[in-house]
Structure 1
Amino acid sequence: MKMLLTVDIPHEPFNSLVRSGQAGAILERIMDGIRPEAAYFTEQDGHRCGLFVVEVAKPSDVPALAEPFFLSFNADCKFRIVMTPADLQQAGLADIGKRWG
């Protein structure tokens, strides 16, 4: 299933990695490893943040996606299930509405 992986990257050690010229290479290695469907970088709550759409087939896939960020940047990772419009169309909202509405 598709998951949105939100990575909150604290200022340290990332600032030090930027100053030493290592941040880009580490991020590239992580991207090669997790192979996100989409990747965006932004600010969130005053910190650097990465947003990645990843495929998670089974719960045991999660550590391989999160640990590179934990170990490289002391980052916080959050996972959310996401759907495409086609996925939502298959949810049976009309039937759910009849049952629970």
Structure 2
Amino acid sequence: MRVMLKATLDTDKGNDAIRGGKMPQIMQEAMEKLKPEAAYFGPMGGRRTCFLIFDMQDSSQLPPALEPFLNDLNAEVEVCPIMNSDDLQKGLSQLR
């Protein structure tokens, strides 16, 4: 199932990770683990935020996917199922 992970980083923890040189490693490890089909980064509400779109084969993938953001960056994390336009059309065709 395609999901979107939104991680809003804690400013102090993010600053510490950047100053300590750990941010590139944290993000690289997250990318390697999740293999997102899309990844976007930017400020939302004045805080560093990332959006990762990835395929979650099993719900057991959730803990390892979230832990780097929770443990290392004290992030607020949200995960929700999403669809692309092909998925939407397929789903809508089943409503008839």
Identify whether the pair has TM-score above 0.5, normalized to the shorter chain. yes
Q: Distance in 2 between matches of 1:94 and 1:70?
A: 38
Contact 2:17–2:23, Cα closer than 8 Å, also in 1:
yes
Larger CA deviation: 44-53 vs 17-26: 17-26
Segments of structure 2 that go 5 or more residues without pairing to the other structure are none
Q: Does 1:51 find its partner at 2:51? A: yes
Segments of structure 1 that go 5 or more residues without pairing to the other structure are 97-101
For 1:45-87, what per-residue CA distance to the aligned partner results, in whole angstroms no more than 9, with x for missing partners? 1110000001112221111211111111111110111111111
**How many residues align structurally?**
96
Contact 2:2–2:83, Cα closer than 8 Å, also in 1:
yes
Q: RMSD over aligned Cα, in angstroms?
A: 1.6
Q: TM-score, normalised by structure 1?
A: 0.85
Q: Distance in 2 between matches of 1:61 and 1:86?
A: 24
Structure possessing the higher radius of gyration over alpha carbons: 1
Q: Distance in 2 between matches of 1:18 and 1:11?
A: 10
* Alignment of structure 1 residues 16-55 onto 2, 5 Å: 16-55=16-55
- Aligned position for 2:11: 11
